[in-house]
Amino acid sequence: MCRRDEAGLFFAPSKEPTAARLSREEAAKRVCGRCPVMVECREHALLQPEPYGVWGGLTAAERRVVLARRRRRDMELRKAARGAIAAAG
């Protein structure tokens, strides 16, 4: 779907006014919401990481938040695993 008519919705033109950007991003997210590969698209954008555009229903800023949360969660899991190994040893 996003490779066809709506492709312009997913990336900001230069110097786009904030209200126009928000409206365009919401329209892009609606397209994503109907997409059968939305989760795969989102994961691709998070793994790359894609710095621009709406991918898998998330803006670049939203993806940065998700990545930061994942990093924190991963650090906490590693810390807990080290503690469990130390307690068992």
Cβ atoms 9, 27 nearer than 8 A? yes
Q: From CA 56, how far away is CA 44, in angstroms rounded?
A: 9
State yes or no: 32 annotated in a binding site: yes
Beta bridge mates, 55: 58
C-beta separation of 28 from 42 below 8 A: no
Tell whether residue 41 is among the known ligand binding residues: yes
Identify the DSSP state of 12: P
The annotation status of 86 as a binding-site residue, yes or no, is no
Report whether 61 belongs to an annotated binding site.
no
Write out the binding residues for [4Fe-4S] cluster: 2, 32, 35, 41
- Pick out the residues of the known binding site: 2, 32, 35, 41
